[in-house]
Structure 1
Amino acid sequence: MQIKAIILYGKNGKKRILPLKTGAVNIISGKSKTGKSVIGDIIDYCFGSSSCNIADGFVRDHVKWYGIQLIHEREYIFIARENPPYGQATTNRCCYLLGEKSIPDDLSVTTPITNDGLEEILSSKLGISENIFNPPENHSRSSTIAKIRHTLFYCIQGQDEIASQKTLFHRQAEDFIPQAIKDTLPYFLGIVTENSLALKSEKNQLNRKVNILKKSINEVELIEGNGFNKATELLEEAREVGLISNYSMSETLNYSQVRNALEEATKWNSVSISSTGMDRLSFLQSELQQIKTELDTTNIEIRDTEEFLGQVKGFGSEVDHQRNRLQSIGLFKHIDFDPKHCPLCSKEVEKQLPSSKDIKNSIISLDNKLESVSRERPQLRKHIDKLNISKQNFEEKIEVLQSEIIAIYRENKEAIRLKEINVRRGRVVGRISLWLESVVISEGIDNKREELNDLESRLEEIDELLSLDEMEDRKQSAINRISSMMSEWAKDLNLEHSEYPYRLDLNKLTVVVDRERPVPLQQLGSGSNWIGCHLIALFALHKFFQKNNRPVPSFLFLDQPSQVYFPPETKDQQVDSQELRKIYEFIFERIRELAPNMQVLVVDHADIDEPYFQDAIIEKWWDETKLVPMEWAVE
């Protein structure tokens, strides 16, 4: 991701475009108070800064919106943010446009978005994957998610940062920023990979399961207590509240006897206590018991009637079956026959058959019984329905009586005393029941322990994959590669102690020279060494980012690298020197190595009379040219 242009939208409706070359060095050479340093603030602001650090003055007075056009993997990205109204440090009004090469004249064609939304889009476009840094458990700070804002630590060097001997990165002097750099730089270096993040997420889930299992196992072990000693303690509590009367502490009981006694105690039910003023309660309880008895009688009668109805249905079905058989041979219609002959085959029989009258009477009797059964069925069903209605009435009366009894208990002081006794006994019964159940619960505790062992084994595997040693190896490998480049380039710039190895210290966020004793940046002398350390560290990081395809923008903004070579009185003069030439030659050499995947934007007083330098100048601000055109003030 590189910058194609910086755009200003004036309050007068005009537009100022500062075009940049990608994959190259871009230089703006000019005098002070022309807006050179503001460019870095605009980049920082458009990349989602929570505050607008552009100084009050000409620029803030005449610009309405700040914008930049980016290019990433051949896609154009235009983003703009409103200049905060007077008296405000920031605004949440932002907009963006994707895929359009032309810079819009009217921001109404863009898509409005909040600052947070803009940061999410840029992070996604850059390829910053889902990530999170969880601080150690003994730290109180919250987790950190690496976003595009964190990449700017390595992409911007302000005028007060580029030659600092105390800080190395952009905004490092601000509160909480050093910790943010330490938390997120391992991700950008690839020390903490996406696979590591997935394993960490799995580890967090497994840890939660382990904690739940351990708590469950501990609860069972706590319930079991000290075994038999716990049981005897519960037995004594039961005796104290009157659940057991035939037990003495002097008796010697075995485990089975204690368990049986405790089981007996759990059968306790609260008893009613009669006292003066409870006549109404006694009456209601008596009536309630009577109605319950009647309800039981009704239930029995319903059950018996339903059983009888089932029997009647069976009898009726059988008789009906026999009648149908007789009807099939016509006996109900042809019953006049000679009793000496068979009515079916007409042969003479040895033993005389019953007369047709007798048979007819039997058949009529059978038919009458069937009709009687048919008549009784509806009557039985009707009787059952009547009994069910009575049952419902009884249940409703019971509910009313129980509600009234409960109300009396609540109002009666004696009932309160009884309730207190019941509560005490109930608590003891509850603890006894819990202990008794623990015997059953403990039978499954082995399965829980086995599951816990499996989870802990998986955690050990993850810890091996995420071991600090392995991460430290990857970290050391990255530092070694970066430090190797730094050491080589320190010789090219002829920095102090360049005969010794230079390295990047990620813990202290500084450059260190490894002499007989480590020499940090702040103990190195002269500004030329300080700016040299900044350049070799930042270019080494960017080269590492590029070679490892890490999601960091491929540009570097440098503000006034010549400041350490000239006194302040030269700020309005074009400057040149051999030492400064060496710095710029170093910058151009690094870009040649990384082209077209690296871009540098320099604002400076320097104006070196060399073709490579003059070709890189995009604008000179030595006359009346400034970032914001002077005619905007007149208009």
Structure 2
Amino acid sequence: MTWRIKSLVLYQRGGADRRKLSFNLHGVNVITGNSQTGKSAVLDILNYILMSKSCPIPKGIIRQAVSHVGGHLVGPDGELLIIRPLPAPGAKVSTQGWYQLGKDLVFPNELPEMISNRAQIRDILSSFTGIAGAAVLSNSREPWEEVLAEANIRHAAPLIFQPQDVIANRHVSVPGLDRDEHRRHMLDALPFLLGIEDAEILEARVHLRKLKSNLAALRMKRKERGRLRANTFARGHKLWLETQGIGLLGGESPQSVPELLGILRDVQVDENKRFDVATAIPNIRQLEANELQSRNAVQEARKHVRSLRDFERNAGVHQDVISRQLNKLSISELLPTQTNKGGCPICESEAFHPERQRDQLMKTLSSLTGIRAVPLRVDAKARKARVRLEEELVPLEEQHEAARSRLREAITTISKNAEYFTADREIDRLLGRISEYIRTVDIGEMDDDEENLASLEDEINVLERKINSIAMRRKKTQESINRTMTGLARWMEVEFKKGNASISVEDLSIKVQIDPDSDEMTSLAEIGSGANWVCYHLAGILAIHDHLSRNACPVPRTLLIDQPSQAWFPEELRTTNREGELVPEDEEDTNRVRDIYRLLDEMTTKEGFSQIIVMDHAKFGDDWFEKMVRYEWRHGQKLVPEHWISEPAKTP
């Protein structure tokens, strides 16, 4: 067996008083009383003492009046005292504490120095419970989250608490299952806590998880390498086909990347033919330039010749015009030399002076004669220049024709080799692509690590056979818990008492067989009635603790239940004829609640069964119930004494 709760203690804030709650180590301990007396806080106090990450103790009177809380735990081989301060104002939790291991221990009258931290006390608690050193894995349903921590008291804590908001919850069977992180850690440790797996199996499971992760990585890498090989081979084979198509390669098609690389590295080109062709082709650009230069020279010379011819033609026209003018002016010799006073002989004008008119015409004739002599001299020079240019034009035209002939011959030669040049350029591009392909291919990246893969698979098979050997133990444990749970549920007169009930040893889910003639199991979430939820919760957790009591399981032998009568017990209570008895108004409901307490009492009579602490409103006048009542908080009695609240807190 592991530890049970001997007592809880509260230290007055700013005072020297203590409040101690003592419990029987065996049997049922009932704390009954009115609402808002601190009953539910008893469960929260123990949870906090067990080194919860946050402080579940509600804010208000308790945190204002209490400075520290402590627990006295008794195990088969020793005792453990723990004291933990409540969070300071503004803080969420205290990470300090104090503990003492030994026998016949008592709480100190004065608060000791809080010299230990939360992690240290948690490890001491885990060792005291018998769960130290067991590896915890991530939940197999969430394999991407690997946790390498060890199991500790916090993994076992959900199995000893049935708070008020859980015992009637249709969705979760123990606290924390509705939070992903808590759920994963809790369910990882569950096979170990239920005695299905030992530390050796858990260690093997840790190693198996790592090996499977490595195997998955290797298989993924092999798959990626397969895709890489396929893509690389496809690229290389395309190059091989192109090389074969232009006649650089022949033979059978390669079947692998290494074979392709070997073939492509040996691709050869006839460089001699490439050189002969290249040297046989003239410089087409130079020939084009020479042809253009000679053509420009010919055109320029012809332009000058045309200009001179135009000048000669214009000079002849000029001479003709001058000659006609001279012929016309020659009539001036026919004019009289003396004036006829009778007037003009033609028009009989009195202003006519023939001698004057004759002098003017003679002057004009003399001028035209002078003008005619100048063009004649210029025309002779132009004619000589034209003749000289025409003589020079002949060799220029011959040079241009020679340049044109050479250019035509070059173009003809290039045309004859155009097909080769096109293929040659394609070969150059293909050789460049082959070179880049060879440079980028790494054979090492495509090699499969088959040896390591086979070794991993062999090691995984060995570990799986070792782990699978506990499958029968898990099956027997599940069947045993299911039988116990079904019997307890029927005792409490559940709605579907003819069917079986189950709480899974893998995920703690509760399921019910609604139709006894069908194998279908229905989730508790799909069943109505708060009474059903409470009864199946109690049946499930009691069945688990019954299994713990019959096996050396590392879970505390204590179970705290808060408000099991809530489905039948209304807030409005009535006092019956039996003095002090507080029960539901409906007699059938009263009997259902009474049956629950009888069942709890009956379960604790089994050898080694867990200590049960119940916080509830209900109180029965039966002697067997009165014997279970440890505290009754009514008529001013509460968890925190009234004078702690009325006295102002003193600063220590």
The match for 1:2 is 4
SS at match of 2:627: helix
The match for 1:197 is 202
Distance 1:558 1:449, change over 3 A: closer
1:262-411 map, 5 Å: none
1:221-236 map, 5 Å: none
Is 1:509 the counterpart of 2:509? The answer is: yes
Distance 1:214 1:55, change over 3 A: closer
Q: Distance in 1 between matches of 2:213 and 2:40?
A: 51
Q: Distance in 2 between matches of 1:180 and 1:19?
A: 32
Partner residue of 2:625 out of 590, 601, 613:
613
Shift of 1:32: 2.1
Instruction: Decide whether the 8 Å contact of 1:575 with 1:606 is kept in 2.
Output: yes
Distance 1:142 1:631, change over 3 A: same
SS at match of 1:13: coil
Shift of 1:89: 2.5
Residue identity in the other structure for 1:588: D
Residue identity in the other structure for 1:491: R
Shift of 1:627: 1.2
Instruction: Decide whether the 8 Å contact of 1:2 with 1:599 is kept in 2.
Output: yes
The match for 2:463 is 462
Distance 1:4 1:189, change over 3 A: same
Distance 1:251 1:526, change over 3 A: closer
Residue identity in the other structure for 1:497: F
Instruction: Decide whether the 8 Å contact of 2:98 with 2:112 is kept in 1.
Output: no
Q: Distance in 1 between matches of 2:141 and 2:35?
A: 50
Shift of 1:482: 0.5
Q: Distance in 1 between matches of 2:185 and 2:627?
A: 38
The 10-residue stretch of structure 1 (176-185 or 526-535) with the greater mean CA deviation from structure 2? 176-185
Distance 1:579 1:219, change over 3 A: closer
SS at match of 2:24: coil
Residue identity in the other structure for 2:635: D
Shift of 1:557: 0.7
Distance 1:163 1:134, change over 3 A: closer
Distance 1:462 1:116, change over 3 A: same
1:519-569 alpha-carbon deviations (Å, 9 max, x no partner): 443455544433221221111101112323121111111122233333211
Instruction: Decide whether the 8 Å contact of 2:139 with 2:185 is kept in 1.
Output: no
Distance 1:59 1:218, change over 3 A: closer
Residue identity in the other structure for 2:92: A
Distance 1:261 1:68, change over 3 A: closer
Distance 1:206 1:533, change over 3 A: closer
1:494-534 alpha-carbon deviations (Å, 9 max, x no partner): 22222222222455722413424534434555444332212
Instruction: Decide whether the 8 Å contact of 2:32 with 2:619 is kept in 1.
Output: yes
Partner residue of 1:150 out of 131, 141, 155:
155
Q: Distance in 2 between matches of 1:455 and 1:226?
A: 28
Q: Distance in 1 between matches of 2:123 and 2:621?
A: 43
The match for 1:562 is 565
Shift of 1:38: 0.9
1:234-249 map, 5 Å: none
The match for 2:394 is none
The match for 1:168 is 173
SS at match of 2:561: strand
Is 1:587 the counterpart of 2:600? The answer is: yes
Q: Distance in 2 between matches of 1:213 and 1:524?
A: 45
The match for 2:582 is 575
Partner residue of 1:73 out of 76, 82, 85:
76
The 10-residue stretch of structure 1 (611-620 or 135-144) with the greater mean CA deviation from structure 2? 135-144
Instruction: Decide whether the 8 Å contact of 2:23 with 2:29 is kept in 1.
Output: yes
1:32-111 map, 5 Å: 32-99=35-102, 101-108=105-112, 111=115
Shift of 1:590: 0.4
1:595-622 alpha-carbon deviations (Å, 9 max, x no partner): 4x51011122233223332222222222
Q: Distance in 1 between matches of 2:564 and 2:222?
A: 64
Q: Distance in 1 between matches of 2:189 and 2:473?
A: 15
Instruction: Decide whether the 8 Å contact of 1:79 with 1:95 is kept in 2.
Output: yes
Shift of 1:459: 2.2
1:137-196 alpha-carbon deviations (Å, 9 max, x no partner): 875445375432222222112223323344322344556545554443233223444333
Q: Distance in 2 between matches of 1:555 and 1:432?
A: 71
Is 1:126 the counterpart of 2:114? The answer is: no
Q: Which runs of 5+ in 2 are unaligned?
A: 269-431, 584-589, 648-652
Instruction: Decide whether the 8 Å contact of 1:144 with 1:183 is kept in 2.
Output: no
Residue identity in the other structure for 1:500: G
Residue identity in the other structure for 1:8: L
1:230-279 alpha-carbon deviations (Å, 9 max, x no partner): 69979x99xxxxxxxxxx985559999x979969x9xxxxxxxxxxxxxx
Residue identity in the other structure for 2:165: D
Shift of 1:488: 1.6
The 10-residue stretch of structure 1 (166-175 or 494-503) with the greater mean CA deviation from structure 2? 166-175
Q: Distance in 2 between matches of 1:581 and 1:220?
A: 70
Q: Distance in 1 between matches of 2:235 and 2:525?
A: 69
SS at match of 1:133: coil
The alignment-based identity, stated in percent, is: 25
Shift of 1:43: 1.0
Shift of 1:578: 3.0
The match for 2:287 is none
**What is the TM-score with the length of structure 2 in the denominator?**
0.60
Residue identity in the other structure for 1:585: R
**What is the TM-score with the length of structure 1 in the denominator?**
0.61
SS at match of 1:184: helix
Aligned residues: 457
Partner residue of 1:622 out of 607, 612, 634:
634
The match for 2:454 is 453
Q: Which runs of 5+ in 1 are unaligned?
A: 238-247, 266-424
Instruction: Decide whether the 8 Å contact of 2:156 with 2:186 is kept in 1.
Output: no
Instruction: Decide whether the 8 Å contact of 1:27 with 1:617 is kept in 2.
Output: yes
The match for 1:411 is none
The match for 2:274 is none
Distance 1:486 1:103, change over 3 A: same
Instruction: Decide whether the 8 Å contact of 1:20 with 1:26 is kept in 2.
Output: yes
Q: Distance in 2 between matches of 1:586 and 1:608?
A: 15
Q: Distance in 2 between matches of 1:571 and 1:88?
A: 42
Instruction: Decide whether the 8 Å contact of 2:137 with 2:146 is kept in 1.
Output: no
Q: Distance in 2 between matches of 1:217 and 1:502?
A: 46
Q: Distance in 1 between matches of 2:547 and 2:111?
A: 37
Residue identity in the other structure for 1:47: L
